[in-house]
Each structure stands twice: as C-alpha cells, then as structure tokens.
A and B are shown apart, each in its own frame.
Chain A
Amino acid sequence: MSGAKILVVDDELIVRESLGGWLERDGHKVEKAASGEEALEKCQNTRYDILLLDIKMEGMSGLEVLKKVKETDPDVSVVMITAYGSIPSAIEAMKSGAYEYLLKPFDPDELMVLIEKIMKHQADRRETLFLREQYKERTRFESMIGQSRALQEVFDLIERIAPTDSTVLIKGETGTGKGLAARAIHTKSRRSQGPFVVVNCGAFPEHLLESELFGYQKGAFTDAKTTKKGRLELAHGGTLLLDEIGEISMRMQIDLLRVLEDRVFYRVGGTQPIEADFRIIAATNKDLEKAIKEGTFREDLYYRLNVICFTMPPLREHKEDIPLLAEYFLHRFAQETNKPVDQISREALDEMMLYDWPGNVRELGNAMERAVVVGRGRRILPQDLPIFRPGSVSTPPGRTLREVEIAHLNSILNETQWNISRSAEILGIDRSTLYDKIKRYDLQKPA
C-alpha cells in the first residue's frame, strides 16, 4: 500500500486541483468530487481511507455528506475543511464522527502530520483485524480439506514443492485458502521447526510496512525509541508469507527485489547489513500480469516471486468438496458453541450445492457457523443458511451466474441497509471485493 486513498470534496475547481496535486506529490492516490452528491456516488463504488471534505458547498453540505458517508462506511476518516466563520459547523461535524477539522488556509505541514496520524491509526486497526482473522483461521481451519481432483492436485503439488527452498507464488480468489496452503508448505518443509511469519502487505501504508518488514534502529525516526526487529529477521530459519503482495508500493517492490536477490537487508536507519535465512511465499488475489502491463507491479519482482506458482481453485470449481467441508465446519462449530447439532438436512445440502460461494471456503465456514448458532434443532435446515435461496428474491428463470450473483448481492445489501462492512461479513468477502462487485455490476442503493 503506497500512501492513502484520498477523496477531495470541494465545489471549487481550483481547490480540488491544487490540493489534489499537492497530495499526489506526497505519494497519495487522489480522486476529486465537485459536490456532495458526486462524493456520495464515489463512496458507494470505491473505498477511501480519507475524505477531505469542505463544509460549505453548493447543494448538499459537507455535514450532510459526512453523516451519509459514515452510515455506509463507518471506517473512513473524514477531515472537514472549513473557513474561520464556520467553526460551529466544524464542531458539529466532530460530534457526527469527523476525525478532525482544518481551518483554511492551513499550513502544509499541519496537513501532512494529520494524514500520517490517520494512516498510523488506520494501520493499527487493520493489523488488529488481521491478527484476529489469523487467530480464527489458525484455531478453526487447521488443515485443508478436500477430496476433489482440483484440491488433490494442490495437495500433491504442496508435497512436492515443500521440501525445496524455492520461492512460491500462490494465486487465488479471496477465501480460497491461500494462507492455509502457505502454512501447509511450511509445515511440510525442512523449516517446519522454524517460525511461520505472516505479513499482510495490504494492511500497512508504505513507511509502516517498511518498518514492519525491516525493523528499525533506535532514533531512525521520531517514534523509534528502541531498536525493533522486523518480520524478515523474525522469520529467520522459517517461512515468510507476504500476503496481498499485489498491494505493495513500487518503492517497496524495489526493496523486496533486493532482499530476494541478496538475502541481505538493512533496518530502517541502520547501517549494518543483516542476513536472514527464510523462505518467501507470496500470495495475491490480484492479476499481477495485468498490474505489470499497467505499470503498477515490477516485472523483475514478478519473475523472482514466480519460481513456483499455483492457483487455489475457487469453491465453485470443486463443489464436490462442499458436503465434506460442511460436515467439518458443522462438528467444529457445534463443539465450540456446545450445541447439539450433528446433521445437515438433504435440502440444506442441496442449496449449498446450488450456490456459487463467491467468498469461497471462508464464506462456507461463516455460513455454517451462523447456521449452527441460529439453528433450533439437531439438523441444519435451509432457512438456517444465510445464502441465496431460489424464490426468496425475484430473479428471472434460466438465470445466469452473473444474475444470481447480482441478485444475492442486492439481497444482502438491502438486508443490511447497505452497510458495507456487515454485508461483506455475511458474504464472507473483503470490503474491497464487495466494493469492486458493486462497481462492476453498477449496483445502486434504493432511493
């Protein structure tokens, strides 16, 4: 992740252009909206880290925009921009969930410090969520399960590549088990007694990712009170999983390339070269070849990572594993929640087989967890499952996969009143994936 994704909302073109340009030079990705209405439309389709929002605009005011944006995306940080005369509105905005307000004209340093503070705050929050998710995966999905040919081929490949020390690139949609595959490679390798260290590259802004990976020397920057080892050092003797590798900045790509070539790196602010012995596994749900063509991913790094590459199949391509997986999740969650559920009805299983599981095995796990919790008897019934059910929404007969997906997305979004975080949770996919789908299918919130 390089810089923040920022939406500048102001009805004055000159402010949008000049502030946008300044932020871009500072390494941020900037989009602009000329009105509150345009800002809301953009927020429906794209996830921003920060909104710089002018309070006083023609049409919808900044305050109204703030309230509506916070309803859909409570995680976005909104900074209100205000003139001296509008301070009471700015205070009202703070009460409505704005992160901060800036009085026009403001010192560029003030803006820079504020953006850094927001990015640090957001990175901490993402890391906490990531660790929580990791913990869940470790305790619930200890091993990969599947009898299908597609998964058996993956298992065979893992058996063969695990003993080598080659770099591995794992591709696949969200929720297909890329992290589990990486862990399996580690467990079956000569490094199994060493650490298995995971870095979610998408969770950190560039400079924090640099400190996380390489560590830092005491005094390297203002907050560096003590020397800290990075995850590269912590992975010594083991395996380092770089999750969401497609999200790293061009600058970090240069760094990683150097590490892959030399196996030597420096702590931030350090002058001593550090050698660490670890195997790198990278995972991504992005199309890296496309990113290379677009100039956002280095070709030389791609070929360094792509020594051994395989793709985790989406669940819709190995549906024959659904009964086995559902059974596994049923027993696991029944045990955890101490509920006497031990069967899945034929009808519920039929529905699971008909559904396409866009969130893959993770979504299936979430669906079974919910079914176990809300189910009333010993058997899981169709109504216990939070999945698309024929007849529950109106779709034309002979519908395509695309139509089914659109109908299901609409159904869940409407059920949660377009609460993106909640919908993504139910669907078992990332918020960014959900935003992508909303954009791709041009889904509209009902008026």
Chain B
Amino acid sequence: MGSKDHTLLISPIGELDGNGELLDQLRMEIHNVFGYETRLLSLLEEKDLPADPIRKQVHSTPILETLALLAPPEALKILAITRVDLFIPVLTHVYGEAQLGGKACILSTYRFWEKRSSTPESFRCRMLKEAIHELGHTFGLRHCRDAGCVMHYCRSVSEVDRKSSQFCRYCAVLLQDEMKRMG
C-alpha cells in the first residue's frame, strides 16, 4: 500500500519482554499491514524516560514530542515501545498514546501480562494489535465501535485478545484515503 520513499520506524526503548526475534516479527508484520518499508531503530533509553516521583509512572506526551524531533527525515511515522507504565495527567494510566494524524506514537507493554493465562504468544499478538492501533492513530484514525477492528479501544487485555489485527472495512477505507493523500 505505502510508498517506498517513506519509512516506518519501530523504536524500542530499553529492554523489552521477549527477544530480538519478537521485534523482527513485529517489523515484518507492520510492513505487511501498512506496506511501507519498516525499520528498527532505537532512539531513547529507559533512563531518558523520567518517572513521575509520586505516581511512579511515565508521562507519555513529552516522549512523543521528543521522538518526533529525534526521528530521521525519511521516517514517516515512529512507534516507540516500552515496558514502563505510562500515564497522562488526570488519567490513571494509558496503554499507549499517539499524535493523531501526526508522526509519533508510543506503546507500553506493562499491562499486557495482566491476564493470568498470558503466554508469550498472546503477548506477541497483543503487542502487534496495539502497535497497529497506535500507528493507525498517526494516520488519523480514531477509535472504532467495531469490537473486531484493530482500532477498537480495549478496556482490558481480554478485549485486546478478542479483537483482530485487521482494520474493519471503514477504517481500511479511511486509512487508504489518508495514504493516498500523503502520496
């Protein structure tokens, strides 16, 4: 789908659960979904994420701004992945955050192990779905009411498990429109 002039960057922050193979699988799957060349490039370390002294969590919004500044020029979108717990002020936590129609998004895997029956495979699927979800936001997509669509907002990991890694036909059309617009 995507043009070869643009690249999607997956930027792990510090150590992640799983191994390098997991990230490489994610890179290939993201490439298959969006069609753009997709690369792994680490831009930040975990120590670069200052935790709020009271909440012991990391405020995600400033990280997005930093990522957008650090991203190389060919990067169309950048997805950061971290295992730290993220928040935005007034909310207790967020699973991820994205600049709607912008460049950067971030995903936290912190709560992906909440379900007792979690396995490495379910962890991989959750990471893939939520990575596509956050990148979808950077392409201007908003939350979708269709519980099977990857853009559906999930209130628990069980809901993440139930949704697919595909865009519903509406979100697919809106994504294509946006990609065409970007050229």
Q: Could you list which residues of chain A lie within 8 angstroms of chain B, going by C-beta atoms?
A: 3, 12, 14-15, 17-19, 21-22, 24-27, 81, 104-109, 111-112, 206-207, 210, 221, 250-251, 254-255
Contact = CB atoms under 8 A, between A and B. Distances in A.
B91 A21 contact: no
Contacts of B153: 26, 112
A108 B94 contact: yes
A250 B175 CA distance: 12
B128 interface: no
B97 A109 contact: no
A22 B91 CA distance: 10
Contact of A106 (B92, B98, B99): B92
B95 to A, nearest CB: 9
A17 B98 CA distance: 12
Contacts of B98: 25
B174 interface: yes
B90 A206 contact: no
Nearest to B142: A27
Contacts of B170: 251, 254-255
Closest 7 A-B residue pairs measured CB to CB?
A18-B88, A27-B142, A207-B145, A109-B155, A251-B170, A26-B143, A107-B92
B87, B98, B143, B147, most chain A CB atoms within 10 A = B143
Contact of B93 (A26, A108, A221): A108
B26 to A, nearest CB: 21
Nearest to B156: A109
A107 B88 CA distance: 11
A413 B145 CA distance: 40
Give the dominant DSSP class at B's interface.
Answer: loop
Contact of A105 (B92, B100, B142, B155): B92
A350 B160 CA distance: 68
Contacts of A206: 145
Chain A CB within 10 A, most for which of B55, B90, B91: B90
Interface string B153-172: 10100000000000001100
A22 B88 contact: yes
Contacts of B143: 25-27
Contacts of B90: 15, 18-19, 81, 104-106
Contacts of A19: 88-91
Interface string B66-104: 000000000000000000000111111110011110000
A22 B143 CA distance: 10
B122 interface: no
A106 B91 contact: yes
B16 to A, nearest CB: 23
Given A25-B137, A108-B93, A206-B145, 13 more contacts: A3-B142, A15-B89, A18-B89, A19-B90, A21-B88, A21-B100, A22-B91, A22-B97, A111-B91, A112-B153, A112-B155, A251-B174, A254-B173
Nearest to B154: A109
A63 to B, nearest CB: 19
Contacts of A108: 91-94
Given A18-B90, A81-B90, A25 B100 contact: yes
Contact of B94 (A22, A27, A207, A250): A22
Nearest to A8: B90
15 contacts: A3-B142, A17-B61, A18-B61, A18-B90, A19-B89, A19-B90, A25-B98, A25-B137, A81-B90, A105-B89, A105-B91, A108-B93, A111-B91, A112-B153, A206-B145
Nearest to B96: A25
Contacts of B137: 25
> Which of B55, B59, B99, B153 gathers most chain A CB within 10 Å?
B153
A19 B144 CA distance: 19
Given A14-B61, A18-B61, A25 B142 contact: yes
Contacts of B97: 21-22
Given A24-B100, A108-B93, A254-B170, A210 B145 contact: yes
Contacts of A26: 142-143, 153
Nearest to A18: B88
